[in-house]
A and B are shown apart, each in its own frame.
Chain A
Amino acid sequence: MSTSKKRLGSIVRHGLLGIWAIFALFPLIWMLIMTFKSEADVMTTTFIFTPTLDNYRQVLLQSDYLRFFTDSVITSVGAVLISVLLGVPAAYALARYKFKYKEGLAFQILSFRFAPELLVVLPLFMIYQRMGLHDTYLGLIWVYQLISMPLIIWVVRGYFEDISVEIEHAAQVDGYNWWQVFMKTLVPLIKPGLVSSALLAFIFVWNSFTFPLMLSGFNVSPVTVAAMRFLASHTVQYGQMAVAATISALPAVVFALLIQKHLVRGLSFGAVKG
């Protein structure tokens, strides 16, 4: 009686989870399948077809897609690098020093993340046009700091706080100066946190849409914006559309796999130490 009840419970749980898994993963699988379908097969929605690489060939060789992809890479990598270079020392200061307005400053940095992006974008659009930053790499990299900087500062700060001050003292006693202590003892210890928050920041920047939609044009076009324009302007080639989507999703999914263990901490800006 009790074992059969348990059995039933287990089946129900597996069933419910299975339903969710289909809902969550089917769109991605379907997209992947679409990429291998010829334009004629796309219309039939069957799963049996002769796979072709035509879509990939079209998108990668005969369209501007690689240029958009490169734009995404340049702006995302640039934004994350700047955030790491400036954010890690800031995170250190916020973790170690006691000073006036510390929590206020930290919260201020966090609040950048929650401010509506449009609030920044509208005036920035005017400023950028006047400064010549509109539709440039630098312009996008700069505005992306609002996405990547708070994330990196808050997550890395948490990792610094986890390191005992004693370790720093010991290194000082050994005769290291401040920079050496920082680079030789602290950086190795926060490395997992730093790498994971940098990769997560990369994903967020890579996926952002509102900023590049309004602050970039035809010179600099990240994939998110390019995909939208592609859809609006062309007679839609569904297979090629799917290829564009798949390739743009690839870096983020791969990075997410790499940082699994630290994902919670990054996603919650350090609020949850998983």
Chain B
Amino acid sequence: MTPSQTTAEIAVIPENINTVQFKTRIRPYLIIAPALLVTIGILIPFAMSIFYSLTNFDFRRRDYDFVGLRNWIGMFTSDVFWHALWVTIRYAFFSTGFALLFGLGVAMLLTSIDNAFSRILRVALVFPLMVAPVISTLIWNLMLNNSVGIVERFLNLFGIFGFPWHASHGTAMMTAVMIDVWVNTPFVIVLIMAGLQSLPKSPFESAKIDGGSAWFNFRKLTLPILKPYIYVALLFRLMASLQEFGIIFALTSGGPGNTLMNLSLSAHQRGFRFFEVGISLTYILFLWVVIFILAKQIVKRWQIAQRTATGRMADGSEG
């Protein structure tokens, strides 16, 4: 038995060439099969969810009728859906945007300084990412608490009392985004740091001699090589923030009122509080389609950026 179609294997002429060929051809599938079965077994629900989104299935009643596209039409004509979509877009935009911005900034700061301070921070700044987001939200909840929270005491020094944070319509989104950014910026930092460490030295040295400005260096030399890393960060962050559930659920369960009801929370509410599984699944399927399309686009751009970057790196090392 050889692991791949090697020359050694081909050189041995088997008695029955067809069975051997069949065996080697089928082997990779056999090796992957267990892993796929375990994961695809879980994917049966996916097919079911498409089916149930066309029914009026309800947890309370065990029978259901086929209702065609009624759930879908109902969703697109309901204010609840459009509100949830708007919340989803804003949440994803701000939390992804700020995480990328801060991640890029902090990573560049970390690589620009080389002393004990930055070396310790390189390790320590990853910690927030390792705490369960739900637990982190609980910690923030305690810190922002108006009676025992330390942030309140800190703001009191500046004459601000009882800042509402997640309790008010106007500041709830900001608070949730802040926690999301706190949890996820380390992910971006780690990625961008890897990118910065892969930068070739020589083009920077020649740019220094040419007297290029810092901004020029960043835009023309650093950014093109960082681009693939930024796309990976964007891909992971955007996909996750579009479907964020844990942080918002732990913070306010979508409140106050419906301020933070994004598509995930609306679907959860429909399914587990109102038991309208059919409608709930329409929300989630819609979200899945959006995520799928966006992911394809970003992956495409990432691949292009990666090709450009490796081209530049090769130029850099030659020159």
Contacts and interface: CB of A to CB of B under 8 A. Distances in A.
Interface string A136-152: 00000011011001100
Contact of A241 (B138, B194, B288): B138
Contacts of B3: 92, 96, 168, 178, 181-182
A2 to B, nearest CB: 13
B28 interface: yes
Nearest to B265: A118
B204 interface: no
A27 to B, nearest CB: 5
B285 interface: yes
A27 B140 contact: yes
A42 B49 CA distance: 47
Tier of interface size on chain A? 35 or more
Interface in A83-97: 86-87, 89-90, 92-94, 96-97
Given A24-B185, A27-B136, A209-B246, A93 B32 contact: yes
Contacts of A122: 45, 49, 52, 267, 271, 277, 280-281, 284
A272 B194 contact: yes
Given A25-B124, A42-B148, A118 B245 contact: yes
A13 B32 contact: no
For the residues of A in contact with B, the DSSP-based class is helix
Interface string B113-134: 1000110010111111111111
Main secondary structure of the interface of B (DSSP, over half): helix
Contacts of B118: 17
A48 interface: no
A231 B138 contact: yes
Contacts of A10: 113
Contact of A173 (B8, B110, B135, B182): B8
Contacts of A120: 42-43, 45-46, 49
Given A118-B284, A272-B229, A172 B6 contact: yes
Given A206-B132, A272-B194, A124 B45 contact: yes
B125 to A, nearest CB: 5
A45 interface: yes
A141 to B, nearest CB: 10
B39 A112 contact: yes
A89 B31 contact: yes
B109 A13 contact: yes
Nearest to B38: A145
20 contacts: A20-B105, A24-B124, A27-B128, A86-B34, A90-B36, A98-B5, A109-B35, A120-B43, A122-B271, A122-B277, A122-B284, A150-B39, A165-B6, A213-B249, A223-B135, A238-B148, A260-B126, A264-B191, A264-B194, A267-B191
Given A27-B128, A96-B4, A214-B272, 18 more contacts: A14-B117, A20-B109, A21-B121, A25-B127, A34-B142, A90-B36, A93-B28, A94-B28, A118-B243, A119-B46, A122-B281, A146-B39, A168-B4, A245-B131, A253-B127, A264-B194, A267-B187, A272-B228
Interface of A: 10, 13-14, 16-17, 20-21, 23-25, 27-28, 30-31, 34, 42-43, 45, 82, 86-87, 89-90, 92-94, 96-99, 102, 105, 109, 111-112, 114-124, 126-127, 142-143, 145-146, 149-150, 153, 165, 168-169, 172-173, 177-179, 181-182, 203, 206-210, 213-214, 223-224, 227-228, 231, 238, 241-242, 245, 248-249, 252-253, 255-257, 260, 263-264, 267-268, 271-272, 274
Q: Which 8 A-B pairs have the closest CB atoms?
A: A123-B45, A207-B132, A90-B35, A97-B28, A274-B194, A178-B1, A93-B31, A252-B130
